[in-house]
Amino acid sequence: MTELATIDWDQVNLDEWVSILTLSGKIPTSGQFSSDQITGTGNIMNGENRLNTETRTQERLDRINVESVRTEMRQGVFGAP
């Protein structure tokens, strides 16, 4: 495993390998996935039954007063009006 750290990845070209995987159908296209399959309950690594990224992000945004944050940032940069 320590040998991997010695590889200069800028010199490694995986284009041919990726092309072979793509042509053989081993690399799925974006149309084959949903955000839930990748980051939510559809992901086999999701042991917590968490919501997908899209839903979690929307819930966070719903708790934020965006206009208030924008005003605060503007005042911090340009000073109070």
Which residues fall within 8 angstroms of residue 56, CB to CB, at 6 or more apart?
Answer: 50
Structural domain harbouring 54: 2-78
**Total domains present in the chain:** 1
Where residue 27 falls among pLDDT bands split at 50, 70, 90? confident
Q: What is the mean pLDDT of the chain?
A: 87
10: three-class secondary structure by DSSP = helix
The residues, any chain, with a CB within 8 Å of residue 81's CB and separated by 6 or more, are: 75
Residue-wise pLDDT for 34-54, tens only, equals: 888 888 887 777 777 888 889
The pTM of this model reads 0.47
Per-residue pLDDT for 1 more than 80?
no
